[in-house]
């Protein structure tokens, strides 16, 4: 038997191992051990992919495989330097060691996370006192004093929680009596609401933590927030001093109270239009701010931790696109011989594509006052979503509003994507697109992956041909009524009539087309769908029906038609290449939210990506002052309840970096695993125009007639391209 070829993932793991070996040659043993989670994960990755690809290979080749090793079998053995005894490590001992280490690591990270939350909360608590002082020091005569901004102190929260527990005990004593209440109390503490605690102190710690966790993470949460001009221009109505955690004035080196704002000063000097606040173009009093929820403002430029800039810079490292995805009516049949299907909800949209429209020209440079067009020509003229969210040069507000409204109406009639969101999910990371719409994401790399010798194997499709009169009538008996309607439209285009007269006649023509489709027999309905889809998308290969997962649209610029077992979509992309691009869409979303209370590009959600506990630990460990704070805290995981040492903190920092890196790697592996499964399913259908099995491996098809297939397996070829397009720019991605 020929030697099995190493998969892409096995080679990737070996390359990573060699890279880490060179990079960490001079590191300590502890630092090397901290990479254990990633090394183990890489091993598991190979197993995952093997579990997917092996069953496929088994169907076409005879293979041999090894049974799992029994637990008492030795992994390796060694002798002590003295040579007087031999030490053997078995499979069970190794796996138990890994499980134990993982359990200890989880416990240590949990303790570290709790410490981080307490530290962050204390900072927000102290800043909230100052922020409340600023708000009250800038209130007008008509405003009430604000006392609900300041957060509770940790001591007050602990006191409240202890009282809550005492109330619980008191009630249980009344219900169960002094002899039985303690047993019931223990049972209550073990419930979810008390953190499944074994002791009263554990329950108190749990309840305190749950109260402070959300508030502690304010600096990591960015939000668009509606406000008004009065907030932006808010000024001090008296001298505002810096205060401490007790609300007392803080004095400087000269012994005098530190002044933050004099009367008449703006108390939010860090607010800048089109940077962190955005104004409704039609109403200057309707404003949206883009800031974190943090109370902390005393940093460079008075911005503190409220700035969106770190979030923007982080997002700019990602591979970003704005997809425009317009769903067409129809679903492919499994055998591709039967007609595509269209359900009752899709049927009207299909009819609409064969009708006509008229609209008033808003462009003053247009030669006519209105435009007549077939609906499928209008569909072809659609641009990507950002083109309808942006005002064009020289366009008035009214012209922009009319153009946007017209596009939304037509988008709703000619596609199944709806009209309000402009057929886009907004700004998205490419790796997230692979999870939400794999077909669209694969279209991003189709031209690269499915090309050999500068010739693409992705077939082209012509929308004009698909929805043409000749294509439709050639397959349908008794189509004279439709031909007559089309001829009437052609005559109307050259008639010298007013917009109202034209619209009236056009309504009559469209009614004829509606009646024509409604009167079709079931056989002719099938023939219509075959004429549109089967005839244009299905290819005969050695007497078998084949279909591509994506097609290059010949008569739409940079557009693909993707065909899955659930839907048909026209897919296009706007790529985000710079921080300036991101800021442009932030401004558009901010202004739109201020004006209409909705956004088109969902930028805030992408900026405000939720951080995991490990990521919060990682960021907090980098904060000035946190390490000193940790060294004063008890390490609850240590046997002797020691304080956190500098050595331990450094070790944990290295370990948490590895864990976060491992989680990022897992996301990539999940995507590649999904693609491997998708290729397998494509081959199972036996109708894929893109993949085949050759010499026991799944291969990409470049040319069926000449039997031209990819040298490497399809999963290896796709994985390399996908890995490149989903990795952060700082990891070597496209800049």
* DSSP codes, 444-507: HHHHHHTEETTEE-SPEE-HHHHT-HHHHHHT-TT-HHHHHHHHHHHHHHHS---HHHHHHHHH
* Main-chain phi, psi angles of 483, to 5 degrees: -60, -40
Asked if residues 215 and 127 have their Cβ atoms less than 8 Å apart, the reply is no
Q: What's residue 2's pLDDT?
A: 42
Q: What's residue 53's pLDDT?
A: 38
Strands 277-280 and 259-261: unpaired
Tokens of 46: 């190979």
What DSSP element (H or E) covers 163? helix 154-189
Asked if residues 43 and 6 have their Cβ atoms less than 8 Å apart, the reply is no
Angle at 548 between CA 542 and CA 554, to 5 degrees: 115
CB atoms closer than 10 angstroms to residue 343: 9
In this structure, the dihedral spanned by the alpha carbons of residues 601, 607, 613 and 619, taken in order and rounded to 10 degrees, is: 170
Report the DSSP beta bridge partners of residue 455.
452
Distances from the Cα of 655 to the Cα of 25, 238, 609, 658, 686, angstroms: 17, 50, 23, 5, 47
What DSSP element (H or E) covers 572? strand 568-576
Asked if residues 601 and 424 have their Cβ atoms less than 8 Å apart, the reply is yes
CA gap 117, 129 in Å, rounded: 18
Closest CA to 473 of 514, 527, 512: 527
Asked if residues 726 and 320 have their Cβ atoms less than 8 Å apart, the reply is no
Asked if residues 204 and 243 have their Cβ atoms less than 8 Å apart, the reply is no
CA gap 350, 331 in Å, rounded: 12
Burial bucket for residue 605 (CB in 10 Å: 0-12, 13-18, 19+): middle
CA gap 352, 164 in Å, rounded: 64
CA gap 511, 121 in Å, rounded: 66
Q: What's residue 344's pLDDT?
A: 87
CA gap 658, 40 in Å, rounded: 12
Report the DSSP beta bridge partners of residue 698.
693
Asked if residues 463 and 353 have their Cβ atoms less than 8 Å apart, the reply is no
Closest CA to 505 of 517, 495, 518: 495
In this structure, the dihedral spanned by the alpha carbons of residues 153, 154, 159 and 162, taken in order and rounded to 10 degrees, is: 150
What secondary structure does DSSP assign to 237-273, as a single string? SS-EE-B-TTSPBPB-TTSSBPEEE-TT-BS-TT--B
Q: What's residue 93's pLDDT?
A: 52
Closest CA to 348 of 365, 328, 367, 325: 328
Tokens of 109: 């990270």
Give the distance, in angstroms, between the CA of residue 390 and the centroid of all CA atoms in the same chain: 23
Asked if residues 314 and 618 have their Cβ atoms less than 8 Å apart, the reply is no
- pTM attached to this predicted model: 0.83
CA gap 517, 343 in Å, rounded: 14
Q: What's residue 724's pLDDT?
A: 93
Tokens of 115: 């410490």
Ranges under pLDDT 70 in the chain: 1-101, 299-303, 362-368, 730-735
Asked if residues 473 and 537 have their Cβ atoms less than 8 Å apart, the reply is no
Taking each helix axis as running N to C, give the angle between helix 714-726 and helix 646-685, from 0 to 180 degrees, rounded to the nearest 10: 130
Asked if residues 547 and 538 have their Cβ atoms less than 8 Å apart, the reply is yes
CA gap 191, 198 in Å, rounded: 10
Report the DSSP beta bridge partners of residue 694.
697
Q: What's residue 647's pLDDT?
A: 95
Q: What's residue 618's pLDDT?
A: 96
Give the distance, in angstroms, between the CA of residue 166 and the centroid of all CA atoms in the same chain: 45
Beta strands in 523-567, from DSSP E residues, in sequence order: 538-541, 544-547, 550-553, 560-563
Burial bucket for residue 70 (CB in 10 Å: 0-12, 13-18, 19+): exposed
Asked if residues 492 and 372 have their Cβ atoms less than 8 Å apart, the reply is yes
Closest CA to 9 of 56, 33, 41, 55: 41
CA gap 332, 339 in Å, rounded: 8
Q: What is the CA radius of gyration of the chain?
A: 33
Give the distance, in angstroms, between the CA of residue 1 and the centroid of all CA atoms in the same chain: 45
Report the Cα–Cα distance between both ends of the chain, in Å, rounded: 45
What secondary structure does DSSP assign to 128-158, as a single string? HHHHHHHHHTT--TTSPPP-SSSPPPHHHHH
Q: What's residue 44's pLDDT?
A: 42
CB atoms closer than 10 angstroms to residue 544: 12
CB atoms closer than 10 angstroms to residue 321: 19
Tokens of 214: 């959300």
What secondary structure does DSSP assign to 308-329, as a single string? SHHHHHHHTTS-EEEEEEEEES
CB atoms closer than 10 angstroms to residue 200: 17
Strand order in the sheet with 277-280: 222-227, 283-292, 277-280
Q: What's residue 601's pLDDT?
A: 94
In which residue are the tokens 């499928």 written?
A: 376
């Amino acid at each position: 038997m020929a030697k099995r070829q190493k998969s892409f993932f096995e080679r990737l793991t070996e390359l990573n191992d060699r890279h880490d070996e060179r990079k960490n040659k001079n590191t300590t043993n502890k630092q090397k051990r901290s990479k254990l989670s990633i090394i183990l994960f890489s091993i598991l990755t190979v197993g995952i992919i093997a579990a997917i690809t092996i069953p496929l290979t088994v169907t076409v080749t005879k293979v041999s495989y090894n049974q799992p090793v029994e637990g008492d079998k030795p992994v390796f053995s060694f002798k002590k330097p003295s040579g007087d005894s031999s030490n053997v490590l078995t499979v069970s001992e190794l796996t138990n060691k890994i499980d134990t280490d993982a359990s200890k690591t989880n416990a240590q990270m949990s303790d570290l996370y709790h410490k981080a939350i307490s530290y962050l909360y204390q900072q927000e608590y102290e800043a909230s006192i100052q922020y409340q002082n600023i708000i009250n020091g800038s209130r007008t005569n008509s405003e009430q004093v604000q006392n609900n901004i300041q957060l509770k102190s940790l001591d007050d929260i602990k006191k409240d929680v202890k009282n809550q527990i005492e109330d619980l005990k008191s009630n249980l004593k009344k219900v169960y009596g002094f002899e039985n209440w303690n047993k019931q109390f223990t049972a209550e503490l073990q419930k979810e609401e008390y953190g499944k605690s074994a002791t009263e102190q554990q329950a108190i710690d749990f309840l305190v933590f749950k109260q402070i966790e959300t508030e502690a993470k304010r600096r990591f949460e960015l939000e668009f927030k509606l406000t008004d001009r009065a907030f932006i221009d808010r000024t001090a109505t008296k001298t505002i001093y810096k205060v401490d955690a007790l609300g007392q004035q803080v004095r400087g080196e000269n012994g005098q109270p530190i002044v933050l704002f004099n009367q008449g000063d703006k108390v939010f000097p860090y607010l800048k239009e089109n940077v962190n606040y955005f104004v409704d173009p039609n109403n200057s009093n309707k404003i949206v701010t883009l800031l974190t929820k943090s109370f902390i403002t005393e940093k460079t430029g008075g911005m503190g931790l409220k700035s969106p800039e770190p979030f923007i810079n982080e997002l700019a490292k990602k591979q970003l696109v704005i997809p425009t995805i317009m769903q067409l009516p129809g679903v492919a049949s499994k055998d591709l011989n039967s007609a595509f299907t269209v359900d009752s909800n899709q049927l009207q949209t299909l009819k609409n594509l064969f009708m006509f429209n008229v609209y008033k020209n808003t462009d003053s440079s247009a030669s006519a006052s209105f435009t007549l067009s077939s609906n499928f020509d209008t569909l072809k003229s659609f641009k990507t979503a950002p083109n309808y969210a942006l005002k064009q040069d020289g366009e008035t507000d009214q012209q922009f509003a009319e153009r946007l409204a017209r596009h939304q109406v037509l988008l709703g009639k000619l596609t199944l994507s709806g009209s309000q969101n402009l057929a886009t999910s907004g700004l998205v990371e490419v790796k997230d697109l692979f999870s939400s719409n794999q077909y669209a994401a694969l279209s991003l790399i189709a031209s690269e992956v499915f090309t050999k010798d500068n010739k693409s194997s992705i077939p082209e499709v012509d929308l004009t041909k698909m929805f043409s009169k000749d294509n439709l009538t050639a397959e349908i008996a008794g189509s004279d009524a439709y031909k007559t309607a089309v001829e009437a439209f052609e005559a109307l285009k050259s008639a010298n009539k007013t917009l109202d007269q034209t619209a009236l006649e056009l309504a009559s023509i469209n009614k004829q087309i509606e009646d024509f489709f409604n009167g079709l027999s079931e056989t002719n309905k099938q023939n219509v769908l075959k004429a549109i889809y089967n005839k244009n998308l299905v290819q005969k290969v050695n007497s078998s029906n084949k279909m591509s997962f994506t097609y290059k649209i010949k008569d739409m610029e940079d557009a693909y038609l993707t065909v899955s077992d659930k839907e048909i979509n026209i897919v296009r992309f706007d790529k985000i290449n710079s921080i300036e691009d991101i800021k442009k869409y932030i401004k558009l979303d901010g202004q739109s939210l201020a004006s209409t209370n909705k956004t088109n590009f969902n930028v805030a959600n992408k900026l405000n990506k939720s951080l995991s506990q490990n990521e919060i630990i990682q960021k907090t460990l980098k904060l000035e002052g946190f390490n000193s704070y940790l060294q004063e805290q008890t390490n609850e995981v240590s046997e002797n309840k020691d304080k956190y040492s500098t050595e331990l903190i450094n070790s944990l920092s290295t370990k948490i970096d590895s864990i976060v890196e491992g989680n990022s790697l897992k996301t990539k592996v999940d995507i590649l695993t999904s693609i491997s499964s998708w290729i397998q399913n494509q081959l199972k259908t036996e109708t894929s125009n893109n993949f085949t099995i050759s010499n026991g491996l799944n291969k990409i098809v470049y040319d069926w007639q000449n039997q031209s297939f990819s040298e490497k397996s399809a999963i290896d070829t796709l994985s390399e391209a996908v890995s490149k397009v989903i990795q952060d720019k700082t990891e070597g991605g496209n800049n």
